[in-house]
Structure 1
Amino acid sequence: MASSHFSQYHRVPLSNEHLLVQAAADGDQDAYAQLYTWYYPNLQVAVNFITQDRHETDEVLQETFLRIWKIREKLLLVKSFENYAFRIARNLVFDLLRRKKVHLRAMEALEQRASAADMPDALEYKELHDTALRAINGLDKQKRDIFLLRTEEGLSFEEIAARFGIAVVTVKKHYYAAFHTLKSVLEQHGGPVAILFLLWLNGK
């Protein structure tokens, strides 16, 4: 099953993540190193699923964790370190693909690996894709609009808040609720969370 391969990398959150995040936000390099070591494998699988290039994947993740460290004070506002790192990595992958204009290459890589036992085949991918789209369309209007503005148009939380005339914290609440709904739906159908990258890559 596709999910069995991915699950070996999908770890539960660290029991002391909150303390490590607080310490990292204060500049504790050892605490940050523990977060890095724990979550790197999961992120590596998701990013490499799209780039199909270990060197590019490593570059994306190095930049991801470097950016987080540079703005580590913001970690105090983060509820999930993994989701926060995942979002930054996703944006960097977008930038990489736009620069190289390899949207088609990403899909070709998916097709080439479709027959592998650890990846969904073309039919399964289409079913997962359709399932995810139904889940997005099933969200209430505000959650759906916020989710699509963030993932399709790349607007910041602040920009979305200004557009709707609501607080940034409210925007984040709706966005993460939508994200977790979609993630849960995919996992229930045996789909790797990396499929989310492809959904955003190809538009909805």
Structure 2
Amino acid sequence: MDITELHNERELLGQVAAGDEPAFRTILRFYHPRVFSHALTFTKSYPEAEEITQDIFLRIWQQREKLPEIENFRNYLFILGRNQIISAMRRQVIKTDAAAEDPMEDMLIPDRQYQYKETYALILKAVDKLPPRQREVFTMSRLEHLSHEQIAQKLNISKAAVNWHIVQALNTLRAYLANYPEVLIFLIAIAPMY
């Protein structure tokens, strides 16, 4: 059942913006399972997925006055969810890194060396399966650490095209590496922030 069959979504969002808690609960009941499922797919942790989901809806409630300006609530919710998931994964990577006393010493442990080598090989194998232009742009961005502007200049394409290729490459890699969440976290962790 679609939420528009129950109520006009824009009308509901307007009510939420005005502080109507029952309208917010209607939005929450409809979208909570979808947001939670999306978060769980990436975190593989029920408590973490629930925390991310709660943070998303708390943020929506706290910024409810902006809801009438939103053209497509589903897209807005997806982007908000994606950003929360990435932030949570980055925090987890930072926490893991902070727990290690000496990162260089950690790299010298044979088991860790093997694990890093395996992870890197898996990423390279996945990258090799990308279409040529996506592979080229992704490699320049994530492995050579060039900015979007530098890539655009080198390849004589727009920054928007660079971004599009990276998004497409990440989507393909996410699907290919779905059974390796630790590798996905690594890919996100090395992503430059532009």
**1:77 matches 2:90:** no
How many angstroms does 1:61 deviate by? Answer: 0.6
**1:14 matches 2:4:** yes
**1:39 matches 2:31:** yes
Distance 1:76 1:130, change over 3 A: farther
Aligned match for 1:52, one of 44, 49, 52: 44
Distance 1:143 1:52, change over 3 A: same
1:92-135 deviation line (CA, Å, top 9, x unaligned)? 22222122218x9xxxxxxxxxxxxxxxxx9xxx59x837x85x
Report the TM-score, using the length of structure 1 for normalisation. Answer: 0.49
Measured in 2, the distance between the counterparts of 1:87 and 1:94 equals: 11
Aligned match for 1:29, one of 18, 21, 35: 21
Is the partner of 2:87 in helix, strand or coil?
helix
How many angstroms does 1:40 deviate by? Answer: 1.3
Aligned match for 2:158, one of 134, 141, 154: 141
Distance 1:54 1:45, change over 3 A: same
Match runs of 1:41-190 below 5 Å: 41-101=33-93, 126=126, 130=130, 134=134, 141=158, 143-144=160-161
**Structure 2: which 5+ runs fail to align?**
97-121, 138-156, 179-183
How many angstroms does 1:143 deviate by? Answer: 3.8
Higher relative contact order (CA 8 A, sep 6+): 1
Higher Cα Rg, which structure: 2
1:121-161 deviation line (CA, Å, top 9, x unaligned)? x9xxx59x837x85xx7xx836446x5xxxxxxxxxxxxxx
Distance 1:142 1:40, change over 3 A: same
Question: What is the root-mean-square deviation in Å for CA atoms of aligned residues?
Answer: 4.6
Q: Work out the percentage of aligned pairs sharing the same amino acid.
A: 26
How many angstroms does 1:59 deviate by? Answer: 0.5
Distance 1:14 1:203, change over 3 A: farther
Report the TM-score, using the length of structure 2 for normalisation. Answer: 0.52
Distance 1:53 1:25, change over 3 A: same
1:54-87 deviation line (CA, Å, top 9, x unaligned)? 0010011101100110010111111222221222
- Contact 2:36/2:50 (8 A) holds in 1: yes
Runs (4+) off by over 2 Å: 11-15, 140-145, 197-204
**Structure 1: which 5+ runs fail to align?**
1-10, 105-121, 148-177
* Alignment: residue pair count: 140
Distance 1:144 1:21, change over 3 A: farther
Measured in 2, the distance between the counterparts of 1:73 and 1:64 equals: 15
Structure number having the greater helix percentage? 2
Measured in 2, the distance between the counterparts of 1:60 and 1:46 equals: 10
